[in-house]
Amino acid sequence: YYRIILLYVYTAVTPGINFPEFTTVGLVDGGQIDYYDSNIKKAIPKTEWMKKVDAADPDYWTRQSQIAQGTQENFKVSVGTLMQRFNQTDGVHTVQWMYGCELHDGETRRGYMQYGYDGEDFISLDLKTLTWTAASQKAVITKQNWEQKDWALQFKDYLENECINWLQKYVEYSRSSLERKVSPKVDLFQKDSSSPVVCHATGFFPKAVMISWQKNGEDLHEDVELRETLPNQDGTFQKRSVLTVSPEKLKKNEYTCVVQHSGLEREMKLQVSDRRVLSVGIILGVVVAVLQLVLIGCVGVLLIWMKKQKKQIMKPGECREMSTLS
């Protein structure tokens, strides 16, 4: 079974926090391929293979930067529009636009697109019925406006055809990168002697990884929490699993973290008895790292695809009017 996904995420936030007011991120199979934010004001490749786009289209990055700058202004308007619609005058608020397409076994195609506001669904496209689904009463006016303009059919064509064309092109560009195998680095640690034990695997590729626990040589399914897989900035991934048992149980039993990944010749086993107990300085470092992960993780939450009405294949992101919520 083969599946690969192309996603784009646009995020706008109210000014005044230590984060760019507008960002766009493109991802293939969970790894970043390009990036733009309102501070640097230009689109940049995030993998070596994305630089191959230059050979076919020397003006690609300049054009994408200009498009993102225009979309940034539209999103600024959208934040203000929704704050008014929700009767909000201050505070931190976010608008996210997420869209994407996926290819299954080289044949089956699927697309999706949705908007979010303050972390909640706002409006999304149903490709089967070619209608817009308003997730709240506040989104009904947007639904009505967009249905009058018949954008659903345009998006369907883009998501199921042109988006797939770009996905296939990116797969070809990235074939050597996507087929590589990088083994994980694994660490076991605790905040203090009474805190949960964390088994943290990072720096691995591809994304699929298994982290499990054993107690006295037997598989353990209780008292464990497996967290989501998150992307690293270098295109690799990280994942953690948390074991929560009392200090007494830790002393009386032998707990083991087991990691399985295609980049490993054999499964990796780490004994909890060899774990690190973090010092205060290390804990502060971990907190900062976690905050960075939250920002990276937010990138992968929503998706949306744009369409420009021309006969040529549209470049990702070439849509202005649809990026303004009205």
pLDDT tens figures, 243-263? 999 999 999 999 999 999 999
Confidence of residue 2 (pLDDT cuts 50, 70, 90): low
Same domain, 124 and 201: no
**pLDDT value for 322:** 54
Judged by DSSP in three states, 159 sits in helix
pTM over 0.85, yes/no: no
Judged by DSSP in three states, 21 sits in coil
What CATH code is carried by the domain that includes residue 27? Answer: 3.30.500.10
**pLDDT value for 48:** 87
Same domain, 135 and 245: no
Length of the chain: 326
**pLDDT value for 104:** 81
Same domain, 145 and 261: no
**Which residue reads 């992968």 in tokens?**
300
Confidence of residue 17 (pLDDT cuts 50, 70, 90): confident
Same domain, 284 and 315: no
Same domain, 114 and 215: no
Tokens encoding 151: 């954008």
pLDDT at 8 over 50: yes
Same domain, 96 and 149: yes
Confidence of residue 30 (pLDDT cuts 50, 70, 90): confident
Question: Is the peptide bond preceding residue 316 cis, with omega within 30 degrees of 0?
Answer: no
The pLDDT mean for the chain works out to 85
**Which residue reads 């929503």 in tokens?**
302
Same domain, 143 and 230: no
Same domain, 123 and 21: yes
Q: CA 247, 251, 253, 254 torsion: positive or negative?
A: positive
**pLDDT value for 39:** 95
Overall average pLDDT of the 85-101 stretch: 95
Give the C-alpha separation, 259 to 266, whole Å.
Answer: 9
In the chain, pLDDT over 90 holds for what percent of residues? 66
Structural domain harbouring 161: 3-177+300-323
Listed range (34-48, 102-116, 229-243) with the worst mean pLDDT: 102-116
Same domain, 250 and 169: no
Overall average pLDDT of the 139-153 stretch: 92
Same domain, 235 and 289: yes
- Name which of 44, 33, 10 is nearest 234 in CA terms: 33
Same domain, 195 and 165: no
More confident residue, 45 or 311: 45
Other beta carbons within 10 Å of 178? 18
Q: Which residues contact 144 (CB under 8 A, 6 or more apart)?
A: none
**pLDDT value for 294:** 40
Overall average pLDDT of the 303-307 stretch: 31
The predicted-structure confidence for 265-282, as pLDDT tens digits, reads as follows: 999 999 999 999 986 444
pLDDT at 296 over 60: no
Q: Is 212 left (phi over 0), alpha (psi -120 to 50) or beta?
A: beta
Q: How many domains in the chain?
A: 2
